[in-house]
Amino acid sequence: MNIPSRSITFLSFLLSSFSFSFVLSRNLSYLKQGSSLFVDDWHTSLVSPSGSFSCGFYPVGINAFAFSIWFSFDKTIAWTANRDRPVNGKGSWVSLRHGGGLVLFDFDGTMIWSTQIISTNKINRAQLLDSGNLVITDLSGIMLWKSFDNPTDTLLPYQGITKDNKLVSSAAKGVISSGYYQLYFDSNNILQLIYDSPNLTSIYWPDPFNKWWVNNRTAYNNSRIGVFDDLGYFMGSDNLRFKSSDYGAHVMRRLTLDYDGNLRLYSLNESAKTWSVSWLALSQPCQVHGICGQYGLCVYKPELQCICPLGFDVLDPNDWRKGCKPTFNITCHSAGQVRFVELAHTDFWGFDFNYTRLLSFHTCKKICLRDCSCQAFGYKKGSGECYPKITLINGRYSQNTMQTIYWKVPRSFKAPKISIYETNPHNCSAISEVHFMNYSALELRKKNVGKQTWIYLYSFACSVFVVEALFIFVGWWFIWRERKQEIRENHYETVSCSFRRFTYKELERATNRFKNELGRGGSGIVYKGTMEEERLIAVKKLHGVSQGGEEFFAELNIIGRINHMNLVRIRGFCSEGAHRLLVYDFVEKGSLDNVLFDSSSKHLLRWRRRCKIAVGVAKGLAYLHHECLEWVIHCDVKPENILLDDEFEPKITDFGLVKLLNRNSCGQELSRIHGTRGYIAPEWASNLPITGKADVYSYGVVLLEILRGMRISDWVLQDGEEEDQVEMILGRWVSSIKERLKKSGQGSPCAWVEELIDPSLNGDFNSAEASMMVKVALSCVEEERSRRPNMADVVRMLQSYDAE
Ligand SMILES: *[C@@H]1O[C@H](CO)[C@@H](O)[C@H](O)[C@H]1NC(C)=O
Ligand SMILES: *[C@@H]1O[C@H](CO)[C@@H](O)[C@H](O)[C@H]1NC(C)=O
Ligand SMILES: *[C@@H]1O[C@H](CO)[C@@H](O)[C@H](O)[C@H]1NC(C)=O
């Protein structure tokens, strides 16, 4: 009995080692002609020479696998052969064969996918390159097929999008099957994003309202190729150009058309092993078409949410993209039986069967009443623009939209009065889950609408007021709830809903006609004001804003979401005509420079307070750099932009202004932004792209000033040296300090550090802590930016002392 069973085991061992004879290790460097990969052994995969990419069977569900290429470090998929037809987890395999190249078979032998190589050349091997490209070559090394020619939803550096391929988004988060969003070159040679579902196609990027030349594209180049390089610079033959915010070499990047229809460039943060967004096509997610389905409304405050208007039910609570369905019937013969329900600040993009300007509200309404295919009409008072609509899709609600939608409903339709808002806590990350909530339309007064426009105006004003009041109420409710639960330790408040739009009149009143000036800088003048309930505000009048209202609003959408205890809270904005104003919380003690450099108030900044300020500023910047979208670089860190509240907690102000003032490269008009020399990182002068490391440098200078209690220019400049050489002299000074640090070596460096610390502290400080802080500051002001720590590291280093 013993011998046969053993021989069977031996036989099966032989058999399996025969069939897997090519599997010498779990990582293969290539697949020879005639060999296969088996799903049952899915831990075996092809790996690129450097190990960055892997290719093989990837589990995509219970017992379902796809043949994919992924980033080895986190298993993010870069390419998939069979995204819509996964294979069984038992018995499926992929072979490299003469006929067809790579061929994928399901468990029952059905051919699922193949590279379909038609070539007389003899296939030799399939290999995964370091670029993430899977290639099949013949004996002489000629490429017969490459995965780069057949992208799914992701492009890698030097993988082009061409006239022959396109990117197709996945259907949902964490799903690989194809969705409805596509990136492709159209017949006009323009690279664009389209929502292409079975019952609707709609282009949404670049702005479909504009002609291509307005969108800065060209239709004249029919080579139709778009590609980004390993520095993060994308170039399309249609003149589309963009740069990743962390432009530079040695960063892994991917350009992905996400499931939510937005095109994003991601950069890999090597130390944190996470992807961060370094560019995106649409800053307002609601601009993506089809995102909330038919009749659905997209709301963004501050996360994307889909809502169904009153009288509509969600079709599928598990999938908001399916939209909503009406709970009423409207037949063609019911012309006298209908009325309109009003939705202010709403748009449903496209599907107008008519467009006329300068119509009265009444005429516009009549057009829609007469036509039984008209489901609603959009009307802009003032310009009298009238948009009767055949269908309602691409809906979005935004305070900034000056259009009102009037919705046809049966006369018998009853609108409940109560609105239910369900807002999600503030979340700064780029992609967020979409939630469903109810939405109550405001009822239009039933009689004589249009005849007496004042009624219309009145109800319009009312609706604005009610919506606004609701926002404020929801905001306060959140504050109240937060306070109650005392979830204060992570310093994030969830009051984003109170971010709002102000009218110029309101702000004029609040600031008493801009009487009380608090300060002025490169970007504008700041005035003190008082809102209702005696709340103090600071109003900044921006000058030099070149953006139109929409763009300004888009940028504000990002800035308005930013919320951290070490950043000045932005309460709202005003954009009217040429006026662009920002409304901030008023911060008690004014800016750091007033306290730190003034001998009469300096005594207030004892050692503990200085440490608290140093850590707080670092935390605020770390939040901007790492927790928000990567590209919130401050560009102008200096004591003037650090405010202190009555507890001496620092709050950084003016963040995001560089984006708002449309100085994209952040370096333009530098002299205008920077009042004081000395905080500017050396890369400004060398024309290198600016990254968060420029802020790190400025922070280092500020930290030195906090320690010394003196302006860096007053400190390092000798007599006769020019102010505009301060950066260079600072560089020399830093090197000499570092020399001393090296010389003192392992011994106690504290003695000479004490000389650097503000003498007005009279030696009342912790010298070990001080020397740690000096070291941090010196590493921040390294000339070579790659040697500077990032802000998260700085926070860690500063806090490590407390921990010990
Ligand atoms: C068309 O675009 C390609 C790729 O960007 C470029 O190399 C070529 O010079 C362009 N042709 C013309 C006529 O501009
Ligand atoms: C609408 O009409 C259809 C057919 O006439 C009917 O089946 C359906 O129940 C009606 N829906 C409502 C909400 O009344
Ligand atoms: C924000 O959203 C992301 C993704 O939806 C989630 O992973 C993260 O935990 C959220 N953060 C907070 C503070 O809720």
Q: Tokens representing 219?
A: 């239709």
Query: Based on the domain organization, do 277 and 338 belong to the same domain?
Result: no
In a domain, 703, yes or no: yes
Among 22-31, 38-47, 212-221, the range scoring the smallest mean pLDDT is 22-31
Contact 609, 603 (CB under 8 A): no
Strand order in the sheet with 30-32: 30-32, 123-128, 134-138, 143-146
Domain boundary among 422, 451, 470: 422
Query: Based on the domain organization, do 51 and 188 belong to the same domain?
Result: no
Domain boundary among 100, 122, 148: 148
Which helix (H) or strand (E) covers residue 486, if one does? none
Mean predicted confidence (pLDDT) in 729-756: 75
Of 300, 320, 319, the closest CA to residue 308 belongs to 320
Query: Based on the domain organization, do 724 and 599 belong to the same domain?
Result: yes
- Residue 749 maps to which CATH number? 1.10.510.10
Domain boundary among 148, 168, 195: 148
Q: How far apart are CA 182 and CA 194, in angstroms?
A: 5
Query: Based on the domain organization, do 344 and 215 belong to the same domain?
Result: no
The domain tally of the chain equals: 5
Ligand 1: atom nearest CA of 236 is 5
In a domain, 462, yes or no: no
Nearest CA, atom 9, ligand 2: 329
Nearest CA, atom 13, ligand 3: 427
Q: Which residues of 616-631 are buried (b: 16+ CB within 10 A; e: fewer)?
A: bbbbbbbbbbbbbbbb
Taking only the tens place, the pLDDT of each residue in 353-394 is 878 778 888 889 888 888 888 888 999 887 888 999 988 888
Among 145-159, 496-510, 571-585, the range scoring the smallest mean pLDDT is 496-510
Q: Which residues are the active-site residues?
A: 636
Beta carbons within 10 angstroms of residue 803's beta carbon: 6
589: annotated binding-site residue?
A: no
Strand order in the sheet with 579-585: 500-501, 570-576, 579-585, 536-542, 524-530, 517-520
Ligand 1: residue of 222, 223, 224 to mutate (most ligand atoms within 8 A of CB) is 223
- Residue 129 maps to which CATH number? 2.90.10.10
Query: Based on the domain organization, do 246 and 118 belong to the same domain?
Result: no
In a domain, 639, yes or no: yes
- Residue 345 maps to which CATH number? 3.50.4.10
Q: Which letter does DSSP use for residue 625 in this model?
A: I
Q: How far apart are CA 728 and CA 213, in angstroms?
A: 44
User: How are the residues of the chain apportioned to helix, strand and coil, as percentages rounded to the nearest 5?
Assistant: 30, 25, 45
Nearest CA, atom 4, ligand 3: 432
Query: Based on the domain organization, do 227 and 372 belong to the same domain?
Result: no
What pLDDT, on a 0 to 100 scale, did the predictor assign at position 409? 82
Query: Based on the domain organization, do 653 and 786 belong to the same domain?
Result: yes
- Nearest ligand to the CA of 490 is 3
In a domain, 492, yes or no: no
What pLDDT, on a 0 to 100 scale, did the predictor assign at position 666? 47
Contact 191, 183 (CB under 8 A): yes
Among 235-244, 586-595, 669-678, the range scoring the smallest mean pLDDT is 669-678
Taking only the tens place, the pLDDT of each residue in 120-143 is 778 889 999 999 999 999 988 899
Of 192, 568, 256, 570, the closest CA to residue 430 belongs to 256
Query: Based on the domain organization, do 511 and 378 belong to the same domain?
Result: no
Q: How far apart are CA 297 and CA 376, in angstroms?
A: 14
Query: Based on the domain organization, do 785 and 653 belong to the same domain?
Result: yes
Query: Based on the domain organization, do 262 and 365 belong to the same domain?
Result: no
In a domain, 10, yes or no: no
In a domain, 6, yes or no: no
pLDDT for residue 406 is more than 60 = yes
Backbone angles phi, psi at 695, to 5 degrees: -65, -35
329 lines ligand 2 (CB under 6 A): yes
Q: Which letter does DSSP use for residue 623 in this model?
A: I
Ligand 3: residue of 274, 304, 427 to mutate (most ligand atoms within 8 A of CB) is 427
Taking only the tens place, the pLDDT of each residue in 242-301 is 999 888 888 999 999 999 899 999 999 888 788 999 999 988 888 888 888 888 888 876
363 lines ligand 2 (CB under 6 A): no
In terms of pTM, does the model score above 0.75? Answer: no
Taking only the tens place, the pLDDT of each residue in 558-595 is 677 777 889 898 888 888 878 888 999 899 888 999 89
pLDDT for residue 145 is more than 90 = yes
Range(s) of the domain holding residue 144: 24-148
In a domain, 631, yes or no: yes
Backbone angles phi, psi at 661, to 5 degrees: -85, 5
Query: Based on the domain organization, do 174 and 282 belong to the same domain?
Result: yes
Nearest CA, atom 4, ligand 1: 237
Contact 552, 501 (CB under 8 A): no
Nearest CA, atom 5, ligand 3: 432
Contact 676, 522 (CB under 8 A): no
Of 230, 231, 233, 251, the closest CA to residue 242 belongs to 233
What pLDDT, on a 0 to 100 scale, did the predictor assign at position 471? 60
What is the distance between the terminal CA atoms of the chain, rounded to a whole angstrom? 67
Q: Which residues line ligand 1 (CB under 6 A)?
A: 221, 223, 225, 235, 237
429 lines ligand 3 (CB under 6 A): yes
* d(CA 190, ligand 1 centre) in Å: 13
Residue type for position 578: A
- Residue 556 maps to which CATH number? 3.30.200.20
Integer CA distances (angstroms), 667 to 283, 454, 603, 661, 736, in order: 22, 50, 36, 12, 29
Backbone angles phi, psi at 150, to 5 degrees: -130, 65
Q: Which letter does DSSP use for residue 11 in this model?
A: H
In a domain, 36, yes or no: yes
Query: Based on the domain organization, do 318 and 279 belong to the same domain?
Result: no
Contact 632, 626 (CB under 8 A): no
Ligand 1: atom nearest CA of 221 is 1
What pLDDT, on a 0 to 100 scale, did the predictor assign at position 452? 37
Taking only the tens place, the pLDDT of each residue in 181-203 is 999 999 889 999 999 988 778 89
What pLDDT, on a 0 to 100 scale, did the predictor assign at position 479? 53
